[in-house]
Amino acid sequence: MSDTRVKFVLGEQDIPTHWVNLMTDLPGEAPPPLHPATKQPAGPDDLTPLFPLGLIQQEVSTEPQIEIPEQVREIYKLWRPTPLYRARRFERELDTPAHIYYKYEGGSPPGSHKPNTAVAQAYENAAAGINKLTTETGAGQWGSALAFACRLFGLECEVWMVGSSYDQKPYRRSMMEVWGATVHRSPSEVTDAGRSQRVHTTGSLGIAISEAVEVAARSAEVNYSLGSVLNHVLLHQTVIGQEALAQLAIAGEEPEIVIGCVGGGSNFAGLAFPFLRRVIREGAKTRFVAAEPAACPTLTRGVYAYDFGDTVGLTPLMPMYTLGHTFVPPPVHAGGLRYHGDAPLLCGLVKAGLVQPRAYRQNETFEAAVRFARAEGVIPAPEPAHAIRAVIDEAAAAREAGDSRVILFGLCGHGHFDLSAYDAYLSGSLEDPEFSEDDLGKALASLPDAPALA
């Protein structure tokens, strides 16, 4: 009797008890972040004005796994474990012998994987006696996840939303407000940084970060929160991959390829790191594909160098692939992927050849997303549409090779707030922006003076 299951569900008791810390698995010594002024290795003390000790310890931990606090697991129960689907209808649509699985994180209240870390961060800050978190948000996925998490722990939440997104996506702002957050259009009049940048009326992620950091730095009871890039953020997302491992075991399958989209790297890391540990420690044969936008091709066109994490240069210098911190990506709809750098931990894996990056154009990702939606039902966010595009390539390769390779990809969020982009695609008016080679050259030329990376 053939197995016709399409959905592999776990019970609450199967929510992972620990996060996977891949730091300890990496070959060689990881280059440390550097203090932006002294260019000396930045230590935990440099982080205390913005982050609670619990998160700093996770950031620098050398333990192979870190226990998930019981209160965090309690809240994870609201949407975890998330389902793993066998995309049988999409396989037929693609006419492929490949077995395609996707791990769907869009069922969380904010609609993406972001609350996996937002809840963990809100918990540690609340436990440290902090009463407010500040953050920036672009398209709004991260801001709404943090608003949701802060509400659950009784923390205030203040969000600076990039001006152009604030105007274009009023419903993401409303969502944050339903959960009780205060949302500012950035640049705002409530910070020095905002007032100094008021000529840039549409705002930028860099300005919004400066505003959120400024307010957090003003008070010992206020901290700042970041939704990707840092080690502890990637760590928190590893619940995704651990569940997927257990679910694929139920399905009796071994993945040949794991695919995720990459903006700052937390979604990709969350799915891939538990599988990467098996590759590094046990010699498993899985391949890993990181899908990014051709309009912001950090891993495929960037250089591996020390650079600032933000546009205006407030953060420590991080060792990563970067397009240059002054690079401004064209306005593709996958707002979550418009970042000039990537998580140092992920960049190290790309550098080591363990993760293969691929870049896709905006229109081909929407074409992939519509094919997927028409087969499977779920309308993907523009970010995971990049992963779906990569899946189509692998499914075609499987057909040509005549093998039934197992493909796992991360469907990290739904597209309910991105339908104007679908509308543009369906009406043939979606732009397919290329970045300016000239701008890229200038941004790379403005990299800070710092030690070269091997």
Residues 297 and 342 sit within 8 Å (Cβ to Cβ): no
Q: Does 69 bind a copy of itself (CB under 8 A)?
A: no
CB nearer to a copy of itself: pick between 16 and 111: 111
68 touches a copy of itself (CB under 8 A): no
Asked if 376 touches a copy of itself (CB under 8 A), the answer is yes
User: Does 79 interact with a copy of itself (rule: CB under 8 A)?
Assistant: yes
Least spacing, CB of residue 294 vs a copy of itself, in Å = 23
Nearer of residues 93 and 439 to a copy of itself, judged by Cβ: 93
Place of tokens 């009023």: 170
Q: What is the dihedral of CA 193, 196, 199, 201, to 10 degrees?
A: 20
Q: Total number of residues binding a copy of itself (CB under 8 A)?
A: 43
Nearest distance in Å: CB 284, a copy of itself: 28
151 lies in the binding site for a copy of itself (CB under 8 A):
yes
* Amino acid, res. 436: S
Contact between 34 and 42 (Cβ < 8 Å): yes
- 374 lines the binding site for a copy of itself (CB under 8 A): yes
Question: Distance between CA atoms of 450 and 284, rounded to whole angstroms?
Answer: 37
Instruction: Report the alpha-carbon distance of residue 233 to residue 155 in Å, rounded.
Output: 19
Q: According to CB under 8 A, which residues from 386 to 425 bind a copy of itself?
A: 416-417, 419-420, 422-423
Could you count the other beta carbons within 10 Å of the beta carbon of residue 447? Answer: 18
Tell whether residue 11 is a contact of a copy of itself (CB under 8 A): yes
CA–CA separation, 195 and 248 (whole Å): 52
| The one among 153, 179, 268, 409 contacting a copy of itself by CB under 8 A | 179
Residues in a beta bridge with 184: 160
The one-letter code for the residue type at 152 is: L
* Signed CA dihedral, 298, 320, 448, 162: sign only: positive
The first and second tokens of residue 303, run together, are 């250089």
At its nearest, how many Å lie between a copy of itself and the CB of residue 372?
10
Q: Which is nearer to a copy of itself, 122 or 230 (CB)?
A: 122
Among 133, 271, 354, 378, which residue interacts with a copy of itself (rule: CB under 8 A)?
A: 378
| Minimum distance, C-beta of residue 396 to a copy of itself, in the bound complex (Å) | 23
Sign of CA dihedral 138, 437, 302, 207: negative
Nearest partner of 373 among 429, 411, 430, judged by Cα: 411
> Residue from 28, 353, 377, 402 that binds a copy of itself (CB under 8 A)?
377
Q: What angle do CA 337, 341, 347 make, to 5 degrees?
A: 105
Q: Is 198 in the site for a copy of itself (CB under 8 A)?
A: no
Smallest gap from residue 126 Cβ to a copy of itself (A): 15
Question: Of the candidates 36, 52, 111, 319, which one interacts with a copy of itself according to CB under 8 A?
Answer: 111
44 prior amide bond cis, ω within 30: no
Quick one: which segment of 40-48, 175-183, 190-198, 238-246 binds a copy of itself (CB under 8 A)? 175-183
> CA 160 to CA 185: how far, in whole Å?
6
Tell whether residue 442 is a contact of a copy of itself (CB under 8 A).
no
Pairing of strands 99-104, 406-411: parallel
Task: Choose, by CB under 8 A, the member of 9, 220, 284, 401 that binds a copy of itself.
Answer: 9
Rg (alpha carbons) of the chain, rounded to whole number: 21
Beta carbon nearer to a copy of itself, 172 or 236? 172
Per-residue mark of binding to a copy of itself, 202-241 (x: CB under 8 A): ----------------------------------------
Stretch that binds a copy of itself, among 31-39, 108-116, 294-302, 353-361 (CB under 8 A): 108-116
Q: Write down the least CB distance from residue 83 to a copy of itself, Å.
A: 9
CB of residue 77 to a copy of itself, shortest distance in Å: 5
Q: Are 252 and 81 in contact (CB under 8 A)?
A: no
In terms of Cα–Cα distance, which of 411, 362, 363 is closest to 391? 411
What is the smallest separation between the CB atom of 193 and a copy of itself, expressed in angstroms? 27
The distance of closest approach from Cβ of residue 104 to a copy of itself in the complex, given in angstroms and rounded to an integer, is 9
Q: Are strands 7-8 and 303-308 parallel, antiparallel or unpaired?
A: unpaired
3-class secondary structure, 119: helix
Binding site for a copy of itself (CB under 8 A): 4-7, 9-12, 74, 77-79, 85, 89, 107-109, 111, 148, 151-152, 170-171, 174-175, 177-180, 370, 373-374, 376-379, 416-417, 419-420, 422-423, 426
